Chains A and B, each alone.
Chain A
């Protein structure tokens, strides 16, 4: 079974600063995806960024980028030029592939990110 650990329950930064959210995972699988999801107060789960484990290049999406360290099983999210609208819960998630298709997502407990004006 996979586990996903987010060690920062809450973080607070000033608007326009850069912030990094940490995530580590444990798996014995070789084929998998990693995700960061944002969940604002509306509770809608929104995909921020995803990383294929077989790709060495770190994924980027505008102000969001990841630092994927496969050997260390680490997957951190960097948010540059943070904005007030980035305030939300952020979840790291793992998805394996068990031959018959992709598995369900395994989520961490989340990090509550607060962007201060």
Chain B
């Protein structure tokens, strides 16, 4: 049983460009959340998707957007990249209702903005 999978694992982008990161949740999971983890910091909640809709959002600008597909996989899009967007982006999934269910994390996508 595959866990949470993320792609790509590493990528380098130029300031001002756009990036798309992808996440496939663990089998049977329908809720996906995205986190940004800067070097030496704890992860910061970006947003959560459930039933193909953004259910909750953290304190991130509109440059950060997402999508959830009918198969529950998800994308994170970041427009107009800034140097400060360089971070590890983590995807997490959980089963119905999220609350109390074990939350599984992927291995993350390393984004470097130059």
Please determine whether chains A and B interact with each other in the same assembly.
yes
**A interface vs B, CB < 8 Å?**
4, 33, 35, 42-47, 50, 52, 91, 93, 95, 97-98, 100-110
Closest partner residue, chain A, to B59 (CB atom)? A1
**B interface vs A, CB < 8 Å?**
31, 33, 35, 37, 41-48, 50, 55-56, 58, 88, 90, 92, 94, 97-100, 102-103, 105, 107-108
- Chain A residues lying within 8 Å of B98, measured Cβ to Cβ, are 101-102
| Other-chain residue from A4, A43, A47, A103 in contact with B56 (beta carbon distance below 8 A) | A103
**Do A110 and B42 contact each other (CB < 8 Å), given the known contacts A47-B102, A105-B103?**
yes
Contact B107 A44 (CB under 8 A): yes
Most buried by B among A4, A45, A97, A103: A45
| Other-chain residue from A42, A44, A101, A106 in contact with B55 (beta carbon distance below 8 A) | A101
Contact A104 B58 (CB under 8 A): yes
**Do A47 and B43 contact each other (CB < 8 Å), given the known contacts A100-B55, A101-B50, A103-B56?**
no
Nearest-Cβ distance from residue B47 to partner chain A, whole angstroms: 8
**Do A101 and B99 contact each other (CB < 8 Å), given the known contacts A43-B107, A43-B108?**
yes
Q: Complex formed: what's the CA distance from A101 to B50 in Å?
A: 10
